[in-house]
Amino acid sequence: MKKILVLNGPNLNTLGRREPEIYGTLTLDEINNSLKQRATSMGLMLDFHQSNHEGDLVDRIQRLDGDFDGAVLNAGAYTHTSLAIRDAVLASSVPVVEVHLTDPASRECFRRRSYLSGAAKGVVSGFGARSYELALYWFAVS
């Protein structure tokens, strides 16, 4: 059974109450619980981590090797600013799939650039909470 880390960045702990017209009404706990149920049917085991701190996210990515078979990463705003997270993904031998609830290409100009996309195995965006499920599906079939 593959073990996958679902890693969420800044402000994702406020899902459900933060701009629900953009990000939806599901909380991060609700998304994680749904993913946990879905993962079982896919033959995946999940672990979850959320942090508002860039260095903590870097530390978790650096510890992927040997502990996990892959990671689903929603780096939040760090997607558009963090070379440190990009470098950690590049240094890892574990595949990372970048996810977004919304489609950054259809948002403000500053959200259209991802420092992570070139380092990630793939990107899933714009499908709300289902973006996470689609990323998990890739791990299940690969």
User: What's the pLDDT at 106?
Assistant: 63
Active site residue 23: yes
- Could you tell me which residue, 1 or 104, shows the higher pLDDT? 1
Convert the pLDDT of each residue in 4-34 to its tens digit. Answer: 999 999 999 999 999 888 888 999 999 999 9
User: Residue 24 is part of which domain span?
Assistant: 2-141
Looking at the 3D structure of the chain, how many domains does it have? 1
Catalytic annotation, pick one of 23, 78, 115, 132: 23
Domain with residue 44: its CATH number is: 3.40.50.9100
What are the pLDDT digits (tens) for 87-99?
A: 999 999 999 999 9
Look at residue 56 and tell me whether its pLDDT is greater than 80: yes
Mean of the per-residue pLDDT values for the chain? 94
Is residue 107 pLDDT above 90, yes or no? no
* pLDDT higher than 80, residue 104: no
- Annotated catalytic residue within 78, 80, 100, 132: 100
Cβ 74 vs Cβ 9: under 8 Å: yes
Q: Please state whether 114 falls in left (phi above 0), alpha (psi between -120 and 50) or beta.
A: beta
Helices (H), the chain: 20-23, 28-42, 54-62, 83-91, 130-141
**pLDDT confidence of residue 20:** 87
Q: Please provide residue 72's backbone torsions phi and psi, each rounded to the nearest 5 degrees.
A: -105, 120
CA dihedral 12, 16, 17, 22 (to 10 degrees): 80
